[in-house]
Structure 1
Amino acid sequence: MIADWQQSGKSKKAYCMENGINEATFYYWFSRSKENHTGGGSFITIDKAQERAMLRLFIPMVCV
């Protein structure tokens, strides 16, 4: 997400609005990416086609 924003050339606010991302969430991960650059961590690439995949969540019902 951070790399995609950087390549877009857009402001953080414009990028978030265009991609439906909560700004606070973006800024959180942006700050974490700075920490990871100095700490030796790295991000993994996520295929955008998989990003929009359908997810099914099954929650068992509990009867009281």
Structure 2
Amino acid sequence: MNKVEYWGKHIADWQASGLSQKEYCSQQDIKAHNLHYWRQRLSEDNAPKPKLIPVAVHRAALVRVLLKDHTIIELSSDTLAAALVTLKAQGLIHVAT
């Protein structure tokens, strides 16, 4: 049994037990932080991955980008790619992989 199977079984057994995570770990003689780590890791593995949607622009248009801090960036669509690369290089946006 590999680690993924081992911890997947513990997670399923814990969920079926009705015990708190702390109680289950104590009974199974495993560390609660390990169970927590593997719960997160396995849930991330099963989470749907964001997909990029290709966009073709046939003529320049005005693009408005609203950032989390409510900053609005307006630019021509023919400069959008360059602007995104610059923002990423400055650490202002992050690309999901």
Question: Which is higher, the Rg of structure 1 or of structure 2?
Answer: 2
Shift in Å, 1:37: 1.8
Q: What does 1:38-57 align with in structure 2 at a 5 Å threshold?
A: 38-39=47-48
Q: CA RMSD in A?
A: 1.6
Superposition deviation, residue 39 in structure 1? 4.8
Partner of 1:26: 35
Report which of the two has the higher share of strand: 2
SS at match of 2:47: helix
Match of 2:52 in 1: none
* 1:7-60 per-position Cα deviation (integer Å, ceiling 9, x unaligned): 1111100000010011111111011121022158xxxxxxxxxxxxxxxxxxxx
- Residue from 28, 41, 46 that aligns with 1:37: 46
SS of equivalent residue, structure 2 residue 26: helix
Matched, 1:15 2:47: no
Which structure carries more relative contact order (alpha carbon 8 Å, separation 6+)? 1
Unmatched runs of 5 consecutive residues or more in structure 1: 41-64
Q: Percent identity?
A: 40
What count of residue pairs does the alignment treat as equivalent? 40
Structure 2 unmatched runs, 5+: 1-9, 50-97
